[in-house]
C-alpha cells in the first residue's frame, strides 16, 4: 500500500532488514538466510565482513549483546573522545545505558541505535572534512 501511494520511497531501506521496501517477504527471508550473500554485500559496501557473519532473524537487542564486533563498535562509537567532545551526550549516562543493555538487565537497543545514528550523522555532515 505505501509503495503504491509513495513510489519514490521504493528504494529506501527498511530499518529492520536494511533492504528496499519493495522486496517481498519471501525475497527478504531468502536473502537473510543466505549468509554468503550478506557477507558478499558487506564486503563490497564496507570492504570487509562487518557484523553479519552469523546474523539470522534474531532481534536487534540480542544481536548487540552477542556479536562481539558489533558490541565493540557500539562502545567505540558512543564512548569515543570525538563523540564525547560534542557535549551532546553525558558520558556516565551513556556508559550506564550500554552496560545495562549489554548485561541483559534492560533493552535499550532502540535508544542505542538512535544514538549511534545521530553520532554517525554528525561525523558525516557536521564535522569539518580534512
Q: How far is CA 33 from the centre of its chain?
A: 18
Look up the pTM and report it: 0.57
Q: Are 104 and 65 in contact (CB under 8 A)?
A: yes
Q: What is the pLDDT, as a whole number, of residue 37?
A: 54
Lookup: cell for 24: 517481498
The residue with cell 543466505 is 34
For helices 109-121 and 68-78, angle between their N-to-C axes, nearest 10 degrees = 60
Burial class (CB in 10 A: 0-12, 13-18, 19+), 79: middle
Grid cell 528496499 — which residue? Answer: 20
pLDDT tens figures, 35-94:
555 555 555 555 544 454 444 445 678 888 988 888 999 999 999 999 999 888 899 999
If you search the block for the grid coordinates 552477542, which residue do you land on?
66
- Higher per-residue pLDDT: 71 or 22: 71
Please report, for the chain, the start and end positions of each structural domain, with discontinuous segments joined by +. Answer: 1-50, 58-130
* C-alpha cell of residue 62: 540480542
Q: What is the pLDDT of residues 34-43, one digit of tens each?
A: 555 555 555 5
CB atoms within 10 A of CB 83: 22
- For the residues of 24-74, what is the DSSP string, one character each? -HHHHHHHHH-HHHHHHHHHHHHSS--S-TT--S--HHHHHHH-HHHHHHH
Amino acid at each position: 500500500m505505501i509503495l503504491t501511494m509513495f513510489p519514490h520511497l521504493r528504494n529506501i531501506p527498511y530499518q529492520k532488514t536494511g533492504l528496499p521496501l519493495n522486496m517481498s517477504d519471501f525475497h527478504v527471508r531468502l536473502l537473510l538466510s543466505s549468509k554468503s550473500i550478506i557477507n558478499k554485500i558487506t564486503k563490497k559496501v564496507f570492504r570487509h565482513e562487518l557484523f553479519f557473519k552469523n546474523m539470522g532473524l534474531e532481534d536487534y537487542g540480542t544481536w548487540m549483546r552477542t556479536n562481539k564486533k558489533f558490541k565493540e563498535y557500539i562502545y567505540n562509537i558512543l564512548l569515543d573522545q570525538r563523540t564525547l567532545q560534542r557535549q551532546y551526550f553525558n558520558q556516565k549516562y551513556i556508559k550506564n545505558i550500554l552496560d545495562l543493555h549489554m548485561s541483559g538487565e534492560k533493552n535499550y537497543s532502540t535508544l542505542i541505535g538512535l544514538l549511534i545514528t545521530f553520532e554517525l550523522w554528525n561525523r558525516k555532515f557536521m564535522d569539518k572534512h580534512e
